[in-house]
Chain A
Amino acid sequence: MSAGRPDDGFNDGAATPGGPSPSAPAPPPAPDQAPLLELEQVHAAYGPFRALFGVSIAVPRKSVVALLGPNGAGKSTVARVVTGLVPVSSGRVRFDGRDVTDVRTYQRARLGIAYAPEGRSVFSTLTVEENLALPARSDRGRAATAAALEKAFQAFPQLAARRRQRAGTLSGGEQRMLSLASVLVEPPLLLVVDELSLGLAAVVIDSVFQTLAAIRDAGTSLLIVEQHVDRALSLADHVVLLSKGEVVRQGPVDEMRALATSLPGM
């Protein structure tokens, strides 16, 4: 993977420098408060394989940011860095006014970062109910847990019918619903969504995106990694284009629409 200059096609001034120089992150598009999430010059690697080279991204409060780019651009790595699953090798991660670079994954989850990972994202050996109860039980009593469960089942009636079924036996769409339902049980400040529509039929994708919109309306910010550019753009306020582990361009959705839809591999 080349760590060299950004690809010629997109290099029109807005790109961040490749080296680890402490240059300022791209300015977040003007909310009157500090962004909810900020990545500053983040480098990350899987063992010897380097995936991110000085990525700077901001997610303003109550907004939806879409992360787009070709296969292998490092989108999923950004999602994993935000949740703490992959450590940064340099750079900072700030969330809700504090530096969380060295904060562990489970503590970040308690601070309000939720993650719907790519592919199977439920405990397939646990029942639907147990999947929902797992995070909810962290600090509450049984009554609160039961209330949270009911809330989730009201939002997703089709899950209620299968509450004692093992999550692994659900269809792909139902599994995605389940992972979103456990987010809804305790709405986080930020939800990171990684390729949620992978392998889903169009109808199912529609309802998944409706759910995402509902989550946004409830006050949660979203960072969306998505293959389906059209759908991502329909939900997003801001767009970040990644290529080869670097940000090539970012900005409000209206400015980025034309560029994003012309990307290769989309």
Chain B
Amino acid sequence: MALLEAEGISKHFGGIAALTDVGLSADASEIVGLIGPNGAGKTTLFNCLFGLDRPDRGRVVFDGQVLDRLPVHRRVRLGIGRTFQRLELFAEMTVREHLLAAERARGGGGALWRDLLNMSAPTADERSRVAELLEMLDITDISDRPAESLSLGHGRLVELGRALATEPKLLMLDEPSSGLDRAETAALGATLVRVVAERRTGVLLVEHDLELVRHVTSRLYVLDFGHMVISGNTENVLEHPSFRRAYLGRTE
């Protein structure tokens, strides 16, 4: 059984079907791509898996547990981490504080009495873990900058770091390369490959940059109009005519 198994997911908004009977699986230590034209339902699928939207039908099993009606924070504690297409940073907090908050939240910490006894300062352990992450993502030099002063590229890395600080078994990335230039995208790809190798994290990647997708993913799902039109080995999918029709809109 794979780490994440979703089957028969359907979701309607008003009269419009956003997802129709969609299934997907992802395992540890692999990077799985999810691509498709804008409006195909990728983000909706992400939200259904993550618990931000409740699917009308279908079920999601993660790590042997049926997720069904589990709220977001419980899923995160089970080991699902995620980044967002539109940056969702904590205004007023520095980069380091983002990661420290995630470190703390992972343990489910937050007893009132500890706060009142002034015992809530970050521990040495938390600090060193965060320092390690900052180093790995190469953002140590900006670690004390407030979120609102960051470029889009750095913002994406901070979101990645924040998600990694929750020590996810599965990392869901929503268009992590958008707003990054070529070099930054390449570096991001390398980082992802390293994370997967070092931590055995599974990655589910929604991405537009086909170069990155070709480079890092082993399997690919293609979503179009809420239907999973094709899936399989990355190379095969990218060469498949129905993929080219759906995604590129080219008919050569």
Contacts and interface: CB of A to CB of B under 8 A. Distances in A.
Interface in A225-266: 227-228, 230-231, 244, 264-265
A244 B153 CA distance: 12
List 7 A-B pairs, minimum CB-CB distance, nearest first: A199-B39, A72-B179, A198-B38, A71-B178, A199-B38, A202-B249, A169-B15
B152 A199 contact: no
Nearest to B181: A7
B14 A2 contact: no
Contacts of A169: 14-16
Interface string A211-236: 00000000000000001101100000
B42 to A, nearest CB: 10
B251 A202 contact: yes
B87 to A, nearest CB: 10
Interface in A1-34: 1-2, 7, 9
Given A169-B16, A228-B249, A230-B250, A201 B224 contact: yes
B37 interface: yes
Interface in B1-40: 14-16, 37-40
19 contacts: A1-B151, A1-B179, A2-B151, A48-B149, A71-B177, A71-B178, A71-B179, A169-B14, A199-B37, A199-B39, A199-B40, A200-B249, A201-B246, A202-B249, A228-B248, A228-B249, A244-B181, A264-B182, A264-B211
B208 interface: yes
Nearest to A168: B14
A244 B182 CA distance: 12
Sorting the interface of chain B by its residue count into under 10, 10 to 19, 20 to 34 or 35 or more gives 20 to 34
A156 to B, nearest CB: 20
Contacts of A202: 245-246, 249-251
Interface of B: 14-16, 37-40, 148-149, 151-153, 177-179, 181-182, 208-209, 211, 224-225, 245-246, 248-251
Contacts of B148: 48
A198 B249 contact: no
A112 interface: no
Nearest to A230: B250
Contacts of A71: 177-179, 208
Contacts of A111: none
Nearest to A265: B209
A228 B244 CA distance: 12
Contacts of B151: 1-2
A72 B224 CA distance: 23
A2 B225 CA distance: 36
B156 to A, nearest CB: 11
A72 B40 contact: no
B178 A72 contact: yes
A194 to B, nearest CB: 12
Contacts of A76: none
A205 interface: yes
Interface string A71-88: 110000000000000000
A5 to B, nearest CB: 13
A172 B249 contact: no
